[in-house]
Amino acid sequence: MKKEDLRIVYMGTPDFAVETLRQLVEGGYNVVGVITMPDKPAGRGHKIQYSPVKQYALEQNLPLLQPEKLKDEVFVEALREWKADLQIVVAFRMLPEVVWNMPRLGTFNLHASLLPQYRGAAPINWAVINGDTETGITTFFLKHEIDTGEVIQQVCVPIADTDNVEVVHDKLMMLGGKLVLETVDAILNGTVKTISQEEMAVVGELRPAPKIFKETCRIDWNQPVKKIYDFIRGLSPYPAAWSELIASEKAESVVVKIFESEKVYESHQLAAGTIVTDGKKFMKVAVPDGFVSVLSLQLPGKKRLKTDELLRGYHLEDGCKMK
């Protein structure tokens, strides 16, 4: 079978999923339909916002379904009518068996980690938060338990100590599209050799990648310098690590998002969370084994600023606190 004859249904929602869909379309593969999340109101005006995948699908005039429930009979019947040979899932939802088991060649997923490590919703964030020096992408066939199916292919990607989650996300996004095309070609050519995740060699313990909530992003200043530094870059630029800032003895606390920091190893006798600043150019926060120097941050209702820009218009006293 030629790639133009292989009927592919694609499922995805965020930016990460658009690149793979774009590479399939531009590569001449036969995408017969796209499934994405229902439209959601967003922002202050609660305007209806299309997902990035929907926007791309509309631009390319690709047939589109946006089911509320994936077991809904009307949706399942509409999906069946597309007569897919193969389904590809990138950053979507957990599929019921009636959906993933439908195509004759199966359904495979692109996951942004080196499975079996980092099964779950936020693999890129957790790899950076945990200070890993390597991550990767995996294609695997879907089965009942989430992120546990037989692995088809993997690609390793280094994580530099200065990379934040955005940098790693973009590296994986570009490579992910390429890996999906290679996986489709291998399925077409009958050269796929899968491996069970239970048989794969894993160094160290298996780490999960659970969904990240607001409270997950709160900085604990009692952690070591490196741990907090990795935590900040693992959540930057989105959803962003945060802390409560008390700018002076009389001031009320405000929530401040922190996007960039530097490690400063220096002995001191200050309590964790104490701020050291000249009120003009720098601001560093005491932690048990040194300081975390804050390089860019954001106050409520304001735009993100470099620390020296913020200090020009915001009075911060030496010795105030982050908590």
Q: Binding site for (6S)-5,6,7,8-tetrahydrofolate: what residues are annotated?
A: 113-116
- The beta-carbon contacts of 145-150 under 8 Å, at least 24 apart in sequence, are 146/94, 146/119, 146/120, 147/109, 147/111, 147/115, 147/116, 147/119, 147/120, 148/116, 148/119, 148/197, 149/108, 149/109, 149/197, 150/194, 150/195, 150/196, 150/197
Q: Look at residues 123, 154, 127, 121 and name the one whose alpha carbon lies nearest to residue 138.
A: 154
Distance, CA of 322 to CA of 198 (rounded, Å): 44
Question: What element of type H or E holds 90?
Answer: strand 86-90
DSSP 112: S
Residue 132 CA: distances (Å) to CA of 58, 136, 172, 227, 286? 38, 11, 15, 11, 24
Q: Look at residues 181, 175, 167, 23 and name the one whose alpha carbon lies nearest to residue 114.
A: 175
- The torsion angle over the Cα atoms of residues 227, 232, 234 and 235, rounded to 10 degrees, is 140
Evaluate the omega torsion of the peptide bond into residue 116 and state whether it is cis, within 30 degrees of 0. yes
Give the per-residue SS3 of 228-270: HHHHHHCCCCCCCEEEEEECCCCCCCEEEEEEEEEEECCCCCC
Distance, CA of 51 to CA of 49 (rounded, Å): 7
Evaluate the omega torsion of the peptide bond into residue 237 and state whether it is cis, within 30 degrees of 0. yes
Determine contact, residues 38/15, Cβ cutoff 8 Å. Answer: no
Would you list which residues are annotated within the binding site? 113-116
**How close are the terminal C-alpha atoms of the chain, in Å?**
61
